[in-house]
Amino acid sequence: MKHLELHILQSVPVTCLNRDDLGSPKTAFFGGVQRARVSSQSWKRAIREYAHEISPYFEGKRTRLIIEPLVKHLEQLGKSESEALEGAKSIAAEIGKLDADAEKKSGVHRVKTLHYTSDAELKALAKQYVELGDASKAVKKVGIGVLKDAADISLFGRMVANDHSLTIEGAAMFNHPISTHKVDNELDFFAAVDDWQKKGESGAGMTGTLEFNSSVYYRFAAVNLGMLADKEHLAAMTVDERKNVVTAFIQATLEAVPGMTESNSGRKNSMNGYTRPAYVLGLVRDKGHPVQLVNAFEQPVWNASGKGIMPASVSKLKEEEEHLNKTWKLDRHQVARAVIPESNIDEFIAELVQHVE
């Protein structure tokens, strides 16, 4: 398959980008030592939100609240309020299980599971329901189509258990970013002062602890360019439109950071981690499968030279690429190669997206 690969090294200072159920930064063992880790889901959400800001093609939303917008679209198509609600519920029931408890307790109409959709898709479902008079047929009819406003659904995929015609295999692939080196989480003890406390009185208004770490992350993302252009994904788009989608995807993947958006604080006001990658290797191959370079760091990087973790990580990544090309001839099918900082962001993206079909 023709595919795009992004291999990213990014240094992040004192942060808690992605926490577990206890509020601790996520970790994983690799190469026999503990590494800092950020879940792929966390970084993907940041990428989707960033891409939504810079491209009109990323309008997908995950929500259980699909009934209300369906009601609105059905009313706009001439249905009465009661008819619209009945129709919206019947369409929603084809997509997921209705949440009867939520409706009974709070009057909220929703399905029990998140559904990845767009307003244009919901509008199309309402239109088909009015034309066909059957919710099941409407869902299947829309499932066959391709919606140009929600390229993110084609990239990130969705699974709909109730109707497989709506299931879309994601064309993009991600790793769980891990640190190139050993990491132990640390504790930050903090105390807040009570400004109205009488002078001479001891003690803080509040005390607490927060866990954090700092890491050089190896990140990996890939896009199946052939799949992205097929009829189940973005075949309805022109080549230029698909290039715009991939451009936005690359830019968002390189520039988005988890926890730095309005919807996800990630302690951005007290432990800001908004950095840009120091090194990015971008590849396009016309055959084969994406291959990670993570084993460059199976033996953890050490700051033995005193020059920092990043230079050593870049050196090991280059060695791993050279090793794989020499041993497995991965460069045999390579049609494009771009590197940041040898190229700026615009030059980097232009070199890669010219191969989008």
- What pLDDT was estimated at residue 149? 65
- What pLDDT was estimated at residue 87? 96
Give the tens place of pLDDT for each residue, 30-42. 999 999 999 999 9
Neighbour-count burial of 124, counting CB atoms closer than 10 A to its CB (0-12 exposed, 13-18 middle, 19+ buried): middle
- What pLDDT was estimated at residue 129? 95
- Angstrom distance (rounded) from CA 36 to CA 29: 9
- What pLDDT was estimated at residue 263? 56
Range 22-25, long-range pairs (CB < 8 A, 24+ positions): 23/210, 23/211, 24/185, 24/211, 25/185, 25/211, 25/212, 25/213
Give the tens place of pLDDT for each residue, 263-318. 555 578 888 999 999 999 999 999 999 999 999 999 999 998 899 999 999 999 99
- Angstrom distance (rounded) from CA 229 to CA 79: 37
- Angstrom distance (rounded) from CA 290 to CA 284: 9
Split at pLDDT 50, 70, 90, the class of 20 is very high
- Mean pLDDT score of the chain, rounded to an integer? 93
Contact present, 25 and 223 (Cβ < 8 Å): no
pLDDT at residue 337 greater than cutoff 80: yes
What would the mean pLDDT of 248-274 be, rounded to a whole number?
84
Give the tens place of pLDDT for each residue, 314-335. 999 999 999 999 999 999 999 9
pLDDT at residue 89 greater than cutoff 70: yes
What is the secondary structure of 318-337 as a DSSP string? HHHHHHHHHHH-GGGGEEEE
Q: Could you identify the residue written with the tokens 């034309």?
A: 131
- What pLDDT was estimated at residue 142? 85
- What pLDDT was estimated at residue 262? 61
- Angstrom distance (rounded) from CA 300 to CA 209: 28
What would the mean pLDDT of 87-95 be, rounded to a whole number?
95
Give the tens place of pLDDT for each residue, 144-165. 665 666 899 999 999 887 777 7
Task: Give ∠ CA 63-65-69 in degrees, rounded to 5.
Answer: 115
Question: What percent of the chain shows pLDDT beyond 90?
Answer: 79
Contact present, 250 and 349 (Cβ < 8 Å): yes
What would the mean pLDDT of 223-236 be, rounded to a whole number?
93
Beta strands 334-340 and 186-192, pairing class: unpaired
Most confident of 205-214, 257-266, 333-342: 333-342
Split at pLDDT 50, 70, 90, the class of 201 is confident
Q: Could you give the residue ranges of the DSSP H alpha helices within the chain? A: 40-54, 67-76, 81-95, 100-106, 119-132, 135-144, 151-156, 225-228, 239-255, 309-328, 345-353
Question: What percent of the chain shows pLDDT beyond 70?
Answer: 97
